[in-house]
Amino acid sequence: MKTCVILLSALLIIPTSQIIQAGTTTLGKDSLRIETATAAGGKYKWIGTNQGVYMINTNKGKGRFLTTKNSRLPDNYVTTIICYPDGQTLIGTHKGILLWDNFSFYIVNSENSRLPENDIENLCFAEGGLLIKTKHCGILKAIGECIQVFSMKPIKVLIQDKNK
């Protein structure tokens, strides 16, 4: 419920004209879909969509819609967003991570870091670092510049269906 309230309040401050300009008024497979959102830390709220990410300045009530064409966003499909308390933000996509350090954007991917692949499915805080869930390499733990890969193996199901 808390997430819904944050998401709705963030959407209310985005002028309709910006949404229309971003080409989101069509229906069907090209419709704008919200995939993730966060309002923690710093002066920005972030709304990740299948077509880019809204960066909303909560102090000014204005937002920017970032895409691969007008920013350093690696891919328009945003899968996950996580904010540090100081406002630094990581935006996961299918083609890497976009880092906002409160001043500039930086791309983090397999070409410029120890990240073994670019298809990011989820990001979350962990004790002493950051957990990164990728599509093919499983769960990674990042501590500073070091990334440790944890192998993912299927587990056997111990409970059998009694109806069989």
pLDDT per residue over 40-53, tens digit each? 667 899 999 999 99
The string of pLDDT tens digits covering residues 22-36 is 334 344 557 888 988
11 within 8 A of 1, measured Cβ to Cβ:
no
pTM of the predicted model as reported, rounded to 2 decimal places: 0.73
pLDDT-derived band at 64, boundaries 50, 70, 90: very high
| Helix H or strand E segment including 155 | none
CA 15/CA 30 separation, integer angstroms: 20
